[in-house]
Amino acid sequence: MNTNDRIIRTEYSEEMQKSFIDYAMSVIVARALPDVRDGLKPVQRRVLYDMHELGIRYDRPYRKSARIVGDTMGKYHPHGDSSIYEALVVMTQDFKKGMPLIDGHGNFGNIEGDGAAAMRYTEARLQKITQEAFLADLDKDVVDFVPNFDETEKEPSVLPVKIPNLLVNGSEGIAVGMATSIPPHNLKEVIDATKAYMMDENITNRELMKYLKGPDFPTGGIVINKDELPEIYETGVGKIKIRGKVEFEQVKGGKTNVVITELPYPMIGANIGKFLSDVAALSETKKTQDIVDISNQSSKEGIRIVIELRKDADPENFVNMLYKKTRLEDTFGVNMLAIANGRPETMSLKQIIKACVDFQYEVATRKYTNLLAKEMERKEIQEGLIKACNVIDLIIEILRGSKDRNMAKACLVEGKTEGIKFKSKESKIMAEQLAFTENQANAILEMRLYKLIGLEIEALINEHEETMANIYRYEDILERRDSMAQVIMNELDEFKKAYGCPRKTVIENGEEAVYKEKELEEMDVMFLMDRFGYAKTIDMATYERNKEAADAENKFIFPCKNTGRICLFTDQGQLHTIKVLDLPFGKFRDKGVPVDNVSNYSTEKEQIVYATSQSELNLKQLLFVTSQAMMKVVDGGEFDVSKRTVAATKLSEGDTLLSVVTLYDQRNVILQSKEGYFLRFSVEEIPEKKKGAVGVRGMKLGEKDSLEAVYYTEATSEAAIEYKSKHLLLNSIKLAKRDQKGVKIRA
């Protein structure tokens, strides 16, 4: 065959489009989304069916999870053991499922997010309701069986579930381009709503909600947007707002403890740890000062998170703050998407119930058709045996006179008497009149002699009457929809009575949480930052008592308001701002916090050259000097910004910011270069520019020279520095003009 004959030429974009659509539909239908009829994803269905096939019933011993996972993977689900075990684990967790389908033995995780033990350590078996409501009629040809992935086994395309499992247990899954998120509901309410629909198929969604009030999460909680639920169940999409349940406990000393006993459903898992961190952060960031201690006292008995409050705290206001600033009030996004008639569809409450009820009628029709056929077959044989008992002497004569089984059978079915020896002519005439059916003849030939005992014949007649009653009942169910509906509703009532439990989630119209932040009392504090970048604030009195030590140990010291901001200018021309409230306020000997922890400042990339309070800047001017001797004066109001980081000045390539000072009474500026040149000139020669300007040149530098230091003098004071072991009076340097080379000072 020519090689070219095997090449299929096609447009690349068309092939990609077709391949992606095929992949997407495979994920949607065969993996990620539940079927509306049984409420199960394929992996869940396969796990339950495999356990059923292995005989791991609710009344039998547990079996290793690894055995179940391996068998499921080998026979039905070749997508890896982790996805199978994860599905098994979720079906055991009573904090995720409204009605767990598997009874787990061992560590199957907990509500706080700890994962299950490895599958080799855990054991499982089916729950009783799973056996009775999900798998009971699989032997009655009620659903279609399809080949597995390698066509060596058969698996059910859907389980004959007798309750609307999609609503009871809900479902969550992410497919390609779509996702499903259906909350769990109360079994009793779901059954009541289903029966209401069966009695009146024209019932509306709102009328159904008289029976099904809303979601019933296994973790309890309080749904607070009751009035929005009808719209959500009408459209199949929306957001359910849910809060945790909070109680107040009075403890000694007049204090109140806030105790959280139920959590919002979306918070289960690792989000409990995140919640505790968020509550602690409220205290650390000074959002509240009411918290004394937080402890997680949760156990197998349930959730118990205790927050101890200060004596003068307002518990109601504090809880409202938790609703506002943590996930104690959360949102469950509803998207009731499921596979219906082979394709994904977003469905309303009524549509889901209708699909489940239609499936029940379909299953019941196939079940009772199958049962009727078996009863009709049993009836045929019973009638043959009763008839045979009435002429048993003739049948014995036929059997004794026949040469083989076929000859006897031909006589029983067709009345053929050739070759059979009869005792009398009358017997032969009677034998010729026999007309048993094929099945009846086989039953007669296989009948044991003890069946001729009087009591056995009486039992046979009673059995026939029972069979006739069953046939009448099954025919009535199949012919009259009302009778079938009654059978389905009776089963639903039995499940409701056996497995129904009270609602856990409260549904109400909750008031919007109103949290009034305590107004912070404004006060003057002293900002301290040492040369290692650790910053803190202390009150003014503490500073005055420790002034000498504070001045000696810290690089930047200035007063500020506790409600204000700190401005940090770096050698890279950046301005970083810090809220004073983000800094620790306390004792003089407290270490403080690194400023890079509370700002965008990076110790690896830049150095702080100046720090001041933002309130001080608003009233003053700043003088900027770079290492390449570029200078400018900028109005401090330009730095009144709320952003954490902005550009403080514009720098030429290779230049860095050397000095920033607030202008008070400075009269002269003295620039010192690395090569020993000094230039002294009046501050008034430096023009005022915008913060985005480069500035003007303050000193002419040699090709390899740069500024090393900047000094300032005032009119009323003498200033001196140590330069090369020499005492240098700055005022003794000749006063010159800006942009000159300056004078060289030698050692």
Using CA of residue 681, residue 683, residue 689, residue 691, what is the dihedral sign?
positive
Neighbouring residues of 527: CB distance < 8 A, sequence distance ≥ 6: 535, 537, 556, 557, 558, 559, 560, 566, 580, 583, 611, 613
Alpha carbon 469 to its chain centroid, in Å, reads 53
Closest CA to 519 of 562, 480, 484, 485: 562
Angle 681-660-692 from CA coordinates, rounded to 5°? 100
Contact between 278 and 326 (Cβ < 8 Å): yes
Q: How far apart are CA 228 and CA 234, in angstroms?
A: 10
Q: How far apart are CA 48 and CA 132, in angstroms?
A: 12
Alpha carbon 290 to its chain centroid, in Å, reads 31
Count of CA atoms in the C-beta half-sphere (13 A) of 650: 8
- How do beta strands 621-626 and 677-682 pair? unpaired
Catalytic residue among 62, 121, 472, 534: 121
Q: How far apart are CA 585 and CA 600, in angstroms?
A: 21
Q: Is 305 left (phi over 0), alpha (psi -120 to 50) or beta?
A: beta
Contact between 32 and 21 (Cβ < 8 Å): no
Closest CA to 162 of 137, 140, 199: 137
Neighbouring residues of 1: CB distance < 8 A, sequence distance ≥ 6: none
Angle 445-446-450 from CA coordinates, rounded to 5°? 105
Tokens of 35: 């079927």
Longest dimension (CA), the chain: 160
Give the C-alpha distances (Å, rounded to integers) separating 517 from 243, 286, 316, 678.
Answer: 21, 11, 12, 56
Alpha carbon 217 to its chain centroid, in Å, reads 14
Contact between 585 and 537 (Cβ < 8 Å): yes
The total of other beta-carbon atoms located within 10 Å of residue 378's CB is: 17
Radius of gyration of the chain (CA): 44
Closest CA to 133 of 340, 360, 342, 337: 360
Q: What per-residue string of b and e applies to 314-327 under the rule 16 or more CB within 10 Å gives b?
A: ebebbbbbbbebbb
Contact between 119 and 85 (Cβ < 8 Å): yes
Q: Is 294 in a helix, a strand, or coil?
A: strand
Active site (annotated) includes residue 121: yes
Tokens of 88: 């098994």
State the distance between the two ends of the chain, measured CA to CA, in whole angstroms. Answer: 98
Q: How far apart are CA 596 and CA 645, in angstroms?
A: 12
Residue entry with tokens 């089916």: 126
The total of other beta-carbon atoms located within 10 Å of residue 185's CB is: 26
Q: How far apart are CA 39 and CA 360, in angstroms?
A: 13
Closest CA to 40 of 161, 139, 124, 142: 161
Closest CA to 382 of 299, 320, 469: 469
Q: Phi first, then psi: give them for residue 286, nearest 5 degrees.
A: 65, 20
Q: Where are the alpha helices (DSSP H) in 76-186?
A: 81-90, 128-133, 165-169
Closest CA to 72 of 100, 51, 102, 56: 51
> 504, exposed or middle or buried, with CB in 10 Å at 0-12, 13-18, 19+?
middle
Q: Provide the annotated active-site residues.
A: 121
